[in-house]
């Protein structure tokens, strides 16, 4: 028995089990550590990982981003780049609070306070620790190589101090302001939301609200009233004014009701007036029966923004319950009534509404208006309405005092900084510009518990103290330092400081910070910006102690690693993490924190729906690992165009498995024949040399082209292009090179084995970053196991260096393959099987393939190939979906000319008709051959196959059929590829034996070919 250089492979790979095995081997052999060691001191590739919110297990959504990050880090590692590999967790904020509230069965802030803020903070930290462990486990299973254990946790005191320093800088520059304004408010969470929080997906949901038309009686015009429209009845008790459009026309109905004429054009009016004439009218408010309303003088005000699309053209204004209303109150000096408290319940001066929520109050308000004859009409109205992104409660507007960072002076600087960033896809950079142009001040305060404590200490003397570091806090503290376990609530609240203006004791405001402050500071806090001395484990402070061993580097390190060469997150992060990082970086350094960004769109299920736990279409990462395997998931993620939504699922996974099987089968083919002759490759002489056949030379060049094309795609951060190149390469490898070379492998030809081995090895190296498990598994078999001097892991071999490919040769063979495909389709159309030899093939319009006539004849099973005109009748029709939009009215003329045969054929598959030149994709071409010929054409190439058969051709077809049948029988009988047989065929095949016996014998490895009396074909091992 020959020496088995390579391990024989099973017929199909078991992805999950080979992946577990590779993971275990990487761990045991310390492959990742060895890779990092090898690259240490090399050129720097700085990647900064956006923090994952630590409140969940690994979801297939998160695995998408993690895969892309891993793919490009692995690629850069193959190219010798030194990298940090620091993973990060987002550990504070409402996501985590709301999860813990849910776990404890709480539904209000009061319950949290009764439970105790210190216990609550500990519970939240426990949730983070649990989630971090889950995310580590899932990410490792995905194949993500990170410096696990050196992660950054945003609740670290170090991170908090860095945000403080940022806030102090903002204050020193005069950008920190206290805003008193109307804001979107979640009554359950008891806090306002920022503009970027509202921009997250899922915030706007379709909702059915009451639709009320309400009459406001006009005071000085007896029997007349203004009619307004509202979908938020709870705001009516806060009404102070009614707005009209000054230049619109208003009309009075017979009932005395005033409405805009444009909205009710078909009604009869008793009087018509411009809106400007209504301005100043006084009216009695809808809830003057309650004290706050009774104290207001309600009047009509002008407002150019009044819409005439819906409603009545008269708008109810409640400055305490709406953003625009609040702005109008400043212009017209209107009183501001704020009817509900933090939890969205009516204050006690609202009488019978006291204590009701805005939802509970609705029925009472509608009923009361009806009883008093003020309701004109009450129905319902469906519209998109904002909901809290954390708890799904419908939002309301409330006046709140929030801490804001003014963007007035920063906007242009941020736009300039963004102009230095290369965005992929490009449109995402434009989205960022749009956002920067339109964003309002950054609302950084939240009235919550578990979050970054804002270091603001406003003193009664009017001075605002802002603390910028722990040292400063300790220096100015008046007590409470002994109990300061972490720089967080509730401990920090017990440390009063002395006011720097008047010396009096001051307490911290109770608000915590927007979670995006925590994440935005990461490029500074983890890299040691302005830190004088390197502190071992200096990041493992406060709540992060014991969770990580991350150091706090020094400023020189920051200089080296900032800005990031590359960051990658989903598109939503434009207004979130990308934005907060850019904001903070522009404040601190005046420049962008990243050079290149890869964004990507959303993940949906296979049918294009959002995935939701409650819809039953959610895929857990664990399930996906078990049912498809990490490599298949990674392929699915990588193949996705970043500008399109990814439809993730198991059907797509099955298709990908099929594609990977092609690679697997090519390797299996190689291993089978290489083992027969004990072929042993050489790692040091990787590229085949010596006398290569043209086909071998072509595969070497084709491989060079694949490496170069993939390299360009990786450099552009386009994994989908790498996959596209890989699929094309695999097709050329298996459907051309291997198909065309089978006989040489049967003979154990060393050049063929060397060439195929080279191609497979290079392919593994190129796609290793995408599918690290399968490639590593095959590498260990094909390379490390066979060559003593080869690297143990594909990741310890550098990126392949290859010469520039011979593109002319490649184009030539691409032409040959195109001709073959065309001829196959002509055969298929004519219903002639491939095993039936034919006399002649005529080829027209494929320059460069002439020297390959023999190959084409052999591949297509024809006796003769001729280059010349293909006689045929050509029918050309417009490709309407393409040509229609392009030509518009002219389409008719072109269509008529084509139908009448009045067209001219141009080179390259183009046509001219009715004075227009038509591209190949703009027309549908049909060719009918002469009698007895099968014809096909595409892209300017035409082929014709002669269909006529004679006895000799028929007999040869029988011989080929026999060869195929016998080879199937050999396989079924479990014979080795090298086993010789004795073949017996029935008398009826005597003519075949007579004429093609030798050929049959050699193709089926028969040492003897007998003719039996009758019956079936039989084989016997010789």
Residues of the shown chain interacting with Zn ion in the complex, contacts defined by CB under 5 A: 186, 188-189, 388, 390-391, 393, 459, 461, 463, 499, 501-502
CA 695 vs CA 57, 732, 739, 751: distances in Å? 51, 11, 11, 10
Please report how close the Cβ of residue 344 comes to Zn ion at its closest, in angstroms.
10
Nearest-5° angle of CA 282, CA 283, CA 288? 125
Please report how close the Cβ of residue 391 comes to Zn ion at its closest, in angstroms.
3
Please report how close the Cβ of residue 459 comes to Zn ion at its closest, in angstroms.
3
Give whichever of 386 and 748 is closer to Zn ion, judged by the CB atom.
386
C-beta of residue 1008 within 8 angstroms of C-beta of residue 1021: no
Please report how close the Cβ of residue 174 comes to Zn ion at its closest, in angstroms.
19
Please report how close the Cβ of residue 448 comes to Zn ion at its closest, in angstroms.
10
Give whichever of 90 and 197 is closer to Zn ion, judged by the CB atom.
197
Tokens of 812: 């030539």
Give whichever of 67 and 182 is closer to Zn ion, judged by the CB atom.
182
Nearest in space to 759 (alpha carbons), one of 789, 718, 731, 723: 731
Question: Which residues, 6+ apart, have CB-to-CB distance to 396 below 8 Å?
Answer: 184, 185, 187, 232, 234, 321, 340, 344, 358
Give whichever of 394 and 429 is closer to Zn ion, judged by the CB atom.
394
Q: List for the chain the helix, strand, coil content (%; round to 5).
A: 45, 20, 35
Give whichever of 350 and 389 is closer to Zn ion, judged by the CB atom.
389
Give whichever of 392 and 998 is closer to Zn ion, judged by the CB atom.
392
Give whichever of 186 and 797 is closer to Zn ion, judged by the CB atom.
186
C-beta of residue 74 within 8 angstroms of C-beta of residue 769: yes
Give whichever of 345 and 390 is closer to Zn ion, judged by the CB atom.
390
Please report how close the Cβ of residue 759 comes to Zn ion at its closest, in angstroms.
57
Strand pairing category for 249-252 and 257-260: antiparallel
C-beta of residue 819 within 8 angstroms of C-beta of residue 843: yes
Give whichever of 382 and 502 is closer to Zn ion, judged by the CB atom.
502
How many Cβ atoms sit within 10 Å of the Cβ of residue 201? Answer: 11
Tokens of 409: 């002076």
Give whichever of 388 and 841 is closer to Zn ion, judged by the CB atom.
388
**Strand positions, DSSP E, 430-511:** 442-443, 445-446, 456-458, 464-466, 497-498, 505-506
Give whichever of 279 and 391 is closer to Zn ion, judged by the CB atom.
391
Please report how close the Cβ of residue 98 comes to Zn ion at its closest, in angstroms.
7
Please report how close the Cβ of residue 205 comes to Zn ion at its closest, in angstroms.
13
Question: Which residues, 6+ apart, have CB-to-CB distance to 110 below 8 Å?
Answer: none
Nearest in space to 940 (alpha carbons), one of 842, 830, 847, 841: 847
Tokens of 158: 């170090």
Please report how close the Cβ of residue 387 comes to Zn ion at its closest, in angstroms.
8
Strand pairing category for 603-605 and 646-648: parallel
Please report how close the Cβ of residue 478 comes to Zn ion at its closest, in angstroms.
13
Nearest in space to 593 (alpha carbons), one of 544, 529, 531: 529
Give whichever of 186 and 227 is closer to Zn ion, judged by the CB atom.
186
Give whichever of 458 and 848 is closer to Zn ion, judged by the CB atom.
458
* Start-to-end Cα distance in the chain: 17
Please report how close the Cβ of residue 492 comes to Zn ion at its closest, in angstroms.
20
Please report how close the Cβ of residue 539 comes to Zn ion at its closest, in angstroms.
31
What whole-number distance in Å separates Cα of residue 572 and Cα of residue 602? 9
Please report how close the Cβ of residue 761 comes to Zn ion at its closest, in angstroms.
55
* 972-978 contacts, C-beta under 8 A, 24 or more apart: 973/1019, 973/1021, 975/1021, 977/672, 977/673, 977/676, 977/746, 978/676, 978/1005
C-beta of residue 214 within 8 angstroms of C-beta of residue 376: yes
Give whichever of 461 and 641 is closer to Zn ion, judged by the CB atom.
461
Nearest-5° angle of CA 14, CA 20, CA 22? 95
Helix (H, G, I), strand (E, B) or coil at 285: coil
Task: Name beta bridge partners: 1010.
Answer: 984
Please report how close the Cβ of residue 389 comes to Zn ion at its closest, in angstroms.
8
C-beta of residue 1022 within 8 angstroms of C-beta of residue 980: yes
Q: What is the greatest pairwise CA distance in the chain?
A: 120
Give whichever of 463 and 595 is closer to Zn ion, judged by the CB atom.
463
Question: Which residues, 6+ apart, have CB-to-CB distance to 372 below 8 Å?
Answer: none
CA 508 vs CA 191, 457, 467, 535: distances in Å? 18, 5, 10, 29
Please report how close the Cβ of residue 191 comes to Zn ion at its closest, in angstroms.
8
Please report how close the Cβ of residue 501 comes to Zn ion at its closest, in angstroms.
4
Please report how close the Cβ of residue 188 comes to Zn ion at its closest, in angstroms.
4
Give whichever of 18 and 96 is closer to Zn ion, judged by the CB atom.
96
Question: Which residues, 6+ apart, have CB-to-CB distance to 231 below 8 Å?
Answer: 209, 210, 211, 212, 381, 383
Question: Which residues, 6+ apart, have CB-to-CB distance to 873 below 8 Å?
Answer: 927, 928
How many Cβ atoms sit within 10 Å of the Cβ of residue 789? Answer: 7
Give whichever of 66 and 188 is closer to Zn ion, judged by the CB atom.
188
What whole-number distance in Å separates Cα of residue 705 and Cα of residue 857? 27
DSSP class of 983:
E
């Amino acid at each position: 028995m020959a020496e088995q250089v390579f391990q024989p492979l099973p017929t199909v790979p078991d992805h999950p089990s080979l992946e577990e095995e590779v993971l275990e081997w990487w761990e045991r052999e310390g492959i990742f550590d060895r890779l990092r060691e090898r690259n240490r001191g090399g050129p720097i590739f700085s990647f900064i990982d956006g923090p994952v919110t630590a409140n969940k297990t690994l979801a297939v959504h998160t695995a998408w981003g993690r895969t892309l990050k891993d793919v490009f880090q692995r690629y850069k590692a193959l190219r010798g780049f030194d990298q940090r590999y620091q993973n990060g967790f987002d550990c504070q904020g409402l996501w985590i609070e709301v999860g813990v509230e849910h776990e404890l069965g709480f539904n209000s802030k009061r319950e949290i306070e009764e439970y105790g803020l210190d216990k609550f903070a500990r519970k939240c930290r426990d949730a983070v620790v649990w989630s971090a462990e889950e995310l580590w486990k899932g990410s490792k299973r995905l194949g993500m190589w990170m410096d696990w254990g050196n992660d950054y946790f945003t609740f670290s005191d170090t991170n908090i101090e860095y945000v403080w320093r940022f806030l102090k800088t903002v204050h020193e520059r005069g950008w920190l302001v206290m805003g008193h304004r109307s804001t979107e408010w979640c009554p359950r969470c008891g806090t306002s939301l920022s503009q970027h929080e509202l921009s997250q997906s899922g915030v706007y949901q379709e909702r059915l609200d009451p639709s009320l038309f309400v009459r406001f009686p006009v005071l000085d015009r007896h029997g007349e009233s203004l009619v307004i429209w509202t979908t938020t009845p709870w705001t009516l008790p806060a009404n102070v004014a009614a707005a009209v459009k000054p230049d619109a026309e208003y009309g009075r109905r017979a009932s005395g009701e005033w409405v805009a004429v444009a909205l009710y054009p078909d009604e009869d009016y008793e009087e018509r007036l411009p809106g400007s004439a209504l301005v100043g009218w006084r009216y009695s408010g809808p809830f003057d029966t309650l004290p706050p309303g009774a104290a207001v003088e309600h009047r009509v005000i002008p407002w150019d923004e009044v819409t005439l699309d819906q409603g009545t053209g008269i708008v109810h204004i409640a400055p305490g319950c709406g953003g625009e209303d609040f702005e109008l109150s400043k212009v017209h000096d209107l009183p501001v009534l704020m009817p509900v408290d933090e939890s969205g319940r009516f204050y006690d001066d609202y009488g019978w509404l006291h204590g009701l929520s805005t939802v509970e109050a609705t029925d009472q308000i509608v009923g009361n208006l009806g009883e008093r004859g003020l309701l004109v009409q009450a129905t319902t109205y469906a519209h998109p309405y904002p909901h809290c992104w954390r708890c799904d409660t419908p939002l309301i507007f409330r006046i709140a005092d929030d801490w804001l960072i003014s963007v007035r002076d920063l906007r242009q600087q941020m736009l300039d900084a963004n102009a230095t960033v290369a965005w992929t896809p490009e449109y995402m950079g434009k989205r960022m510009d749009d956002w920067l142009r339109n964003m309002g001040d950054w609302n950084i305060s939240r009235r919550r518990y578990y979050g970054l404590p804002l270091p603001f200490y406003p003193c009664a003397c009017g001075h605002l103290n802002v603390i910028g570091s722990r040292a400063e806090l300790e220096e100015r503290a008046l007590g409470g330092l002994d109990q300061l376990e972490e720089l967080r609530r509730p401990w920090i609240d017990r440390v009063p400081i002395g006011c720097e203006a008047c010396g009096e004791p001051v307490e911290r405001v109770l608000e915590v910070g927007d979670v995006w402050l925590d994440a935005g500071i990461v490029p500074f806090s983890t890299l040691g910006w302005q830190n004088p001395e390197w502190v071992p484990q200096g990041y493992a402070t406060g709540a992060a102690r014991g969770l990580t061993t991350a150091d706090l580097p020094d400023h020189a390190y920051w200089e080296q690693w900032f800005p990031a060469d590359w960051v990658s997150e989903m598109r939503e992060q434009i207004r979130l993490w990308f934005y907060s990082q850019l904001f903070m970086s522009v404040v601190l350094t005046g420049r962008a924190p990243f050079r290149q960004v890869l964004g990507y769109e959303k993940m949906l299920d296979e049918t294009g729906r959002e995935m939701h736990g409650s819809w039953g279409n959610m895929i857990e990462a664990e399930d996906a690992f078990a049912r498809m395997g990490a490599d298949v998931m990674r392929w699915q993620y990588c193949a996705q165009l970043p500008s399109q939504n990814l439809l993730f699922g198991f059907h797509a996974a099955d298709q990908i498995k099929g594609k990977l099987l092609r690679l697997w089968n090519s390797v299996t083919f190689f291993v089978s024949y290489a083992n027969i002759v004990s072929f042993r490759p050489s790692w040091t002489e990787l590229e085949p040399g010596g006398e290569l056949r043209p086909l071998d030379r072509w595969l070497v060049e084709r491989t060079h082209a694949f490496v170069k094309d993939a390299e360009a795609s990786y450099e552009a951060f386009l994994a989908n292009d790498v996959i596209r190149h890989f699929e094309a390469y695999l097709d050329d490898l298996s459907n051309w090179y291997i198909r065309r070379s089978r006989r040489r492998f049967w003979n154990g030809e060393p050049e063929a084995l060397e060439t195929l081995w080279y191609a497979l090895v290079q392919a593994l190296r190129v796609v290793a970053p995408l599918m690290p498990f399968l490639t590593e598994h095959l590498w260990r078999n094909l390379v490390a196991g066979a060559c003593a001097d080869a690297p143990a892991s594909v990741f310890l071999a550098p990126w392949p260096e290859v010469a520039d490919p011979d593109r002319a040769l490649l184009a030539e063979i691409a032409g040959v393959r195109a001709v073959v495909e065309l001829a196959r389709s002509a055969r298929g159309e004519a219903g002639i099987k491939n095993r039936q030899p034919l006399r002649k093939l005529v080829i027209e319009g494929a320059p460069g393939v002439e020297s390959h006539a023999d190959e084409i004849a052999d591949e297509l099973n024809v006796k003769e190939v001729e280059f010349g005109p293909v006689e045929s009748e050509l029918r050309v029709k417009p490709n309407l979906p393409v040509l229609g939009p392009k030509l518009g009215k002219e389409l008719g003329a072109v269509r008529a000319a084509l139908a009448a045969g009045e067209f001219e054929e141009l080179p390259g598959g183009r046509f001219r008709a009715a004075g227009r030149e038509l591209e190949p994709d703009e027309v549908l071409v049909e060719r009918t051959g002469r009698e007895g010929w099968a014809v096909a054409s595409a892209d300017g190439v035409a082929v014709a196959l002669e269909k006529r058969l004679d006895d000799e051709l028929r007999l040869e077809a029988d011989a080929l059929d026999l060869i195929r049948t016998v080879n199937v029988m050999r396989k079924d009988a479990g014979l080795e590829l090298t086993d010789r047989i004795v073949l017996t065929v029935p008398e009826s095949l005597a003519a075949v034996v007579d004429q093609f016996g030798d050929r049959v014998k050699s193709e089926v490895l028969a040492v003897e070919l007998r003719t039996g009396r009758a019956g079936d074909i039989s084989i016997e091992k010789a």
